[in-house]
């Protein structure tokens, strides 16, 4: 039965507008049609009222979302509820430990959601992220990438800042990961806030690994915040409305689009996501792209 459902899901996935438009130039598509929301942004609201929060997502007028779990629903139901509100699941965050424990179960869920991308948001580690942590992750990424690719899903990793160390070194752990996984169906999702906080230049990284970045988390960082991963975490008050922080968004987004990136997910982890998400959308829609 699971195999039958999988076949149906893949067929529906391949016929979806998102899949059909994959080979069109991103630069010729209005940015407003490429905007989405990482649903983790509304985690507190989902804990209180799943359906009501999905209703709010439907009011944003965005075409795509990226999931972070399914808030107690089976994936098929979650996908249907979003579709009923005019929203497509373009991407799914999948957990590293869950993939280690039962890869097949995670794959089935991603297919059921209809996601085109599956991204790991965090590699578990104790203390600093080490060479050994990185080496183990690389081997697993190389194993999982081709398995997702067999189902038409682009699989990848979402760097969180700790891979860059305290500012730019000659070769960072992220550089080693990117080079070691090249040719193994492993891609990356750029969270611009964490790239900047980790002491890196998002535009330089887009240029350096132009064929590997497939989506973006659009998240700003307050002007004046020390970067280079000088602190263990970034306080919520330093994660600000898009366009009010230190990131040059027109340059970052235009560079990403020039390399074919099609998906830009707002992820709001600030002090008041329900208030700030519409403000971030308003700013991004004002950009002439």
Residuewise pLDDT in 10s, the chain (289 residues): 333 344 344 444 444 445 444 434 566 899 999 999 999 999 999 999 999 999 999 999 999 999 999 999 999 999 999 999 999 999 999 999 999 999 999 999 999 999 999 999 999 999 888 999 999 999 999 999 999 999 999 999 999 988 987 556 678 999 999 999 999 999 999 999 999 998 899 999 999 999 999 999 999 999 999 888 655 689 999 999 999 999 999 999 999 999 999 999 999 999 999 999 999 999 999 998 8
Query: Which pLDDT score, from 0 to 100, does residue 288 have?
Result: 85
Buried b (16+ CB within 10 A) or exposed e, 175-201: bebbebbeeebbbbbbbbbbbbbbbbe
Give the CATH number of the domain where residue 217 resides.
3.20.20.150
Query: Which pLDDT score, from 0 to 100, does residue 128 have?
Result: 85
Let me know if 216 is exposed, middle or buried by CB neighbors in 10 A (0-12, 13-18, 19+): buried
Query: Which pLDDT score, from 0 to 100, does residue 188 have?
Result: 98
Q: For the beta carbon of residue 204, count every other beta carbon within 10 angstroms.
A: 12
Handedness of CA 216, 100, 140, 79 (dihedral sign): negative
Domain span at residue 149? 2-286
Is the distance from CB of 21 to CB of 88 less than 8 angstroms?
Answer: no
Left if phi > 0, otherwise alpha if psi is -120 to 50, otherwise beta: which for 267? beta
Query: Which pLDDT score, from 0 to 100, does residue 231 have?
Result: 59
- What total of structural domains would you count in the chain? 1
Handedness of CA 110, 196, 242, 248 (dihedral sign): negative
Q: Which two tokens stand for residue 35?
A: 């905007």
Left if phi > 0, otherwise alpha if psi is -120 to 50, otherwise beta: which for 41? alpha
Closest CA to 256 of 217, 229, 200: 217
Could you tell me the pTM of the whole model? Answer: 0.90
Query: Which pLDDT score, from 0 to 100, does residue 127 have?
Result: 86
Query: Which pLDDT score, from 0 to 100, does residue 10 have?
Result: 43
Query: Which pLDDT score, from 0 to 100, does residue 168 have?
Result: 61
């Amino acid at each position: 039965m699971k195999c039958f459902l999988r076949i149906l899901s893949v067929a529906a996935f391949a016929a979806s507008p998102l899949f059909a438009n994959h080979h069109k130039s991103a630069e010729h598509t209005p940015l407003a049609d490429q905007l989405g929301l990482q649903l983790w942004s509304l985690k507190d609201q989902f804990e209180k009222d799943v359906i009501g929060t999905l209703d709010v997502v439907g009011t944003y007028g965005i075409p795509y979302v990226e999931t972070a779990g399914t808030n107690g629903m089976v994936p098929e139901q979650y996908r249907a509820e979003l579709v009923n509100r005019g929203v497509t699941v373009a991407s799914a965050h999948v957990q590293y430990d869950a993939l280690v424990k039962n890869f097949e179960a995670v794959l089935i869920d991603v297919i059921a959601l209809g996601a085109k991308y599956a991204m790991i948001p965090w590699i578990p580690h104790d203390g600093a992220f080490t060479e050994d942590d990185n080496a183990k992750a690389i081997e697993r990424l190389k194993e999982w990438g081709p398995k997702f690719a067999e189902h038409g899903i682009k699989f990848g990793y979402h760097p969180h800042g700790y891979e860059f160390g305290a500012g730019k070194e000659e070769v960072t752990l992220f550089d080693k990961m990117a080079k070691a996984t090249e040719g193994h169906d492993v891609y990356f999702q750029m969270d611009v806030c964490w790239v900047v906080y980790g002491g890196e230049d998002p535009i330089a990284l887009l240029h350096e690994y132009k064929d590997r970045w497939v989506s973006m988390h659009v998240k700003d960082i307050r002007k004046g915040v020390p970067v280079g991963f000088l602190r263990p975490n970034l306080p919520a008050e330093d994660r600000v409305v898009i366009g009010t922080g230190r990131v040059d968004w027109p340059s970052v987004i235009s560079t990403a689009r020039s390399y074919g990136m099609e998906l830009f997910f707002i992820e709001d982890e600030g002090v008041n996501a329900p208030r700030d998400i519409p403000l971030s959308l308003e700013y991004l829609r004002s950009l002439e792209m």
